[in-house]
A = this chain, B = another copy of it.
Amino acid sequence: MGEIRSKFLEVYSVLKAELLHDPAFEFTDDSRQWVERMLDYNVPGGKLNRGLSVIDSYKLLKEGKELTDDEVFLACALGWCIEWLQAYFLVLDDIMDNSVTRRGQPCWFRQPKVGLIATNDGIILRNHIPRILKKHFREKPYYVDLLDLFNEVEFQTASGQMIDLITTLEGEKDLSKYSLPLHRRIVQYKTAYYSFYLPVACALLMAGENLENHINVKDILIEMGIYFQVQDDYLDCFGAPEVIGKVGTDIEDFKCSWLVVKALERSTEEQKKLLYEVYGKADEACVAKVKELYKVLDLQGVFAEYERESYEKLVKFIESHPSKAVQAVLKSFLAKIYKRLK
């Protein structure tokens, strides 16, 4: 893994250098420096799970056959396209959420001299993806499918973000809108397509597969993505801050979290009334009351049961897939997230 990671980071430097000398634009010295600083600040600093999993997946699809240098480079390039996509979403999301920190440093828009220029920087990040794809994949038979794939997944993510934004609309805090189907819809579109389906779909295209023959792979990965987000919601409240690396604020932020949805489902009228009063307030006592209610309703037990069921369902689903190589890809994903603590 250390070897793949260092290879992956090497490819970042190659892609960055190419982008900083893209012949489609005449950089000024200032703008070239700006882009370089912006990329280094926003692109490579995450866990890189999404990007690395393109390479993992492609290897598994190749069933142990040694990859050529060219294949490794291309799989890394696609992995980086996903990391660029993620960086673009995060830069803009932090602006819209007025967030303070990201990946242990101030959000990009909070850097001196950046401010709302970060909006355009997000757009630049997004525009780098087709530049990378064109430079390295233009002659591949699956080039147009790659473009379609990235376009569709971006559209789905932006649409998920939209329902998240309009249901959490400031000044219209209304818990009665929150339900399991809404939670599922937000999570599926905002997170699951780009985080789970996209890396595998990239690997499948590189392996010469037609994505239309892999609708069930998509369905399984979307289910896994939803399960992953439920864990995320759970850890936001019940995880150890020193392990997850941040203090959760979903309760204060009036988030349509799996926990609040489950709490609403399981509450008596009286408990519901309390929840309506205290949820979404940046007040310690209110947050404590929500957490207390979660405990009373045994959401920890409900989550444990959900986790067990999801896991079983996913394993069964995966084992029904006709291809052992595809099964291996899906199992590798599942192993990475099952019972995770961070």
Interface residue A310 (Cβ < 8 Å from any Cβ of B): no
Which stretch from A146-154, A196-204, A272-280 is at the chain B interface? Answer: A146-154
The residue that A25 contacts in the complex, of B35, B116, B159, with Cβ under 8 A, is B159
Residues in chain B near residue A110, CB distance under 8 A = none
Which stretch from A162-170, A232-240, A296-304, A312-320 is at the chain B interface? Answer: A162-170
Interface residue A182 (Cβ < 8 Å from any Cβ of B): yes
Residues in chain B near residue A25, CB distance under 8 A = 155-156, 159, 189
Establish whether residues A158 and B127, one from each chain, have CB atoms under 8 Å apart when the complex forms: yes
Residues in chain B near residue A116, CB distance under 8 A = 95-96, 98
Residues in chain B near residue A154, CB distance under 8 A = 127
Residues in chain B near residue A161, CB distance under 8 A = 120, 123
Residues in chain B near residue A185, CB distance under 8 A = 26, 28
Establish whether residues A158 and B123, one from each chain, have CB atoms under 8 Å apart when the complex forms: yes
Establish whether residues B152 and A24, one from each chain, have CB atoms under 8 Å apart when the complex forms: yes
Interface residue A92 (Cβ < 8 Å from any Cβ of B): yes
Interface 0/1 of A118-136, CB less than 8 Å to B = 0111011001101100100
Interface residue A4 (Cβ < 8 Å from any Cβ of B): no
Interface residue A242 (Cβ < 8 Å from any Cβ of B): no
Establish whether residues A162 and B119, one from each chain, have CB atoms under 8 Å apart when the complex forms: no
Distance in angstroms between the alpha carbons of A318 and B204 in the assembled complex: 48
Establish whether residues A155 and B182, one from each chain, have CB atoms under 8 Å apart when the complex forms: no
Establish whether residues A123 and B92, one from each chain, have CB atoms under 8 Å apart when the complex forms: yes
Establish whether residues A28 and B124, one from each chain, have CB atoms under 8 Å apart when the complex forms: no
Interface residue A247 (Cβ < 8 Å from any Cβ of B): no
Distance in angstroms between the alpha carbons of A152 and B119 in the assembled complex: 19
Copies in the complex: 2
The interface centre, meaning the residue of A128, A131, A144, A162 with most chain B CB atoms within 10 A of its CB, is: A162
Distance in angstroms between the alpha carbons of A166 and B36 in the assembled complex: 14
Given A24-B155, A120-B96, A143-B144, are A31 and B163 also a contact pair (CB < 8 Å)?
A: yes
Residues in chain B near residue A158, CB distance under 8 A = 120, 123-124, 127
Residue of B whose beta carbon sits closest to that of A125: B158
Residues in chain B near residue A189, CB distance under 8 A = 25-26
Given A119-B95, A182-B28, A185-B28, are A155 and B127 also a contact pair (CB < 8 Å)?
A: yes
The residue that A119 contacts in the complex, of B96, B147, B155, B182, with Cβ under 8 A, is B96
Interface residue A30 (Cβ < 8 Å from any Cβ of B): yes
Residue of B whose beta carbon sits closest to that of A154: B127
The interface centre, meaning the residue of A31, A95, A134, A152 with most chain B CB atoms within 10 A of its CB, is: A31
Establish whether residues A166 and B31, one from each chain, have CB atoms under 8 Å apart when the complex forms: yes
Establish whether residues B96 and A117, one from each chain, have CB atoms under 8 Å apart when the complex forms: yes
Closest-CB distance, A43 to chain B (whole angstroms) = 16
Residues in chain B near residue A117, CB distance under 8 A = 96, 162, 165-166, 169
Residue of B whose beta carbon sits closest to that of A22: B155
Binding site for B on A (CB under 8 A): 22, 24-28, 30-31, 34-35, 92, 95-96, 98, 113, 115-117, 119-121, 123-124, 127-128, 130-131, 134, 143-144, 147-148, 151-152, 154-156, 158-159, 161-163, 165-167, 169-172, 182, 185, 189
With contacts A25-B189, A31-B162, A127-B155 known, what are 8 further pairs, Cβ within 8 A? A27-B159, A28-B185, A30-B163, A115-B170, A120-B161, A120-B165, A121-B162, A144-B147
